[in-house]
Amino acid sequence: MRGLRGISIVALAVAPVLVTAQAYIPLLKPNASWQDQHACSSPGPNTGDSECFRYFLDGDTLVNDTTYQVLRKTGRRAHSNSIFPDQNYVNYHYDELVAFLREDTTERRVYIKYPGTSWSWLLYDFSVGLGPYPFTFRFLDVDEVSSIDTIWLNDGPHRRFSLALSGYIIEGIGSVYGFMRSGISGEICWLSQLVCHVPEDSANYIVPSNNCPCYSNVSVQERTEQQLQVFPSPTAGQFQLQGAPASAPYLLRALDGRVIGSGTCSGDGSAIIDLSFLPGALYLLEVGNGERVRRIKVLKQ
């Protein structure tokens, strides 16, 4: 695999005027991915929680006439209890819709919008200089930029911001303590890190990890199910679904995440679904539930 030379971070001794003049490196590139690892423990109840997720961009979509990048995740979240081991579990997530992202390269800001909400939040702000760093959805605190320098990664120089409370964020990459906020909690959260970042097809930032290695399938088992098929697509009204598990539930979603229909497949894994009441657009069909959800798009004329 190209670019897998391990993490390469070398601070450059440059004047502040050169740091601010450096060309902006966009965060949202086609097919970009970020792999996060987090772990927390609670000595009181003797429990531990961990997660390893690969977040990745999966094309774009229109939400209220604004173009957003679709963010999905694949990975696992685990819980352990040393006193009550029957409460241990591991949940797997496969190509799960997380949110919609939008970047304003002129403003040097990245915004996040969650499905079903009517507003968006600031996720990262790379426009700042020394001084206050604004409240963002990633950190949930007003912070302070204490220094800005330039570091070398496998694909060249990147600006790095040191935040007094939240550590380093890197232009074109995000936080080195995880691209997204952790979904776990505990009395002591002892591990939060971005394991690797892949801008397009090769990694430019890698931190060795045995439990969440870069480019891994993050322990999601390989799937051997029959491929989903829909036809006709485009359709003027009804279409047929084939290849689903027997009696599997399905949800029909708009690309902004709204559920606009649901049903259950027959015993042979097929279903006839009517779109005649919907306007012409691209829709997403989700089949199954839990960790075994599969998705396919269908076009209504």
The string of DSSP codes covering 185-213 is --SEEEEEEEEEEESSSS-SEE---SSS-
Give me the phi and psi of 128, to 5 degrees please.
Answer: -75, 160
pLDDT of residue 28: 96
**Domain assignment present for 5:** no
Q: Report how far residue 250's alpha carbon sits from residue 255's, in angstroms, rounded to the nearest whole number.
A: 15
Overall number of domains in the chain: 2
Q: Which of 182, 169, 236, 227 is nearest to 52 (CA)?
A: 182
My answer on whether 139 and 193 are in the same domain is yes
pLDDT digits (tens, 9 = 90+) for 218-275: 654 444 445 678 888 888 899 888 888 888 899 898 877 788 899 999 888 889 999 9
**Domain assignment present for 175:** yes
My answer on whether 44 and 123 are in the same domain is yes
Residue 132: asked if its preceding bond is cis (omega within 30°), the reply is no
Q: Reduce the DSSP state of residue 223 to 3 states and report it.
A: coil
My answer on whether 87 and 131 are in the same domain is yes
10-14, 45-49, 129-133, 204-208: which has the highest mean pLDDT?
A: 129-133
My answer on whether 100 and 26 are in the same domain is yes
The residue with greater pLDDT, 112 or 212, is: 112
**What range does the domain containing 174 cover?**
10-206
**Domain assignment present for 214:** no
My answer on whether 150 and 281 are in the same domain is no
**How far does CA 143 lie from the centroid of its chain?**
24
Work out the percent of the chain whose per-residue pLDDT is above 90: 44
My answer on whether 195 and 235 are in the same domain is no
- Domain boundary among the residues 206, 241, 259 is at 206
Does residue 102 register a pLDDT over 60? yes
Q: Collect all residues with Cβ–Cβ distance below 8 Å to 161 and sequence separation of at least 6.
A: 126, 128, 133, 145, 147, 148, 168, 169, 170, 171
pLDDT of residue 134: 94
The residue with greater pLDDT, 213 or 71, is: 71
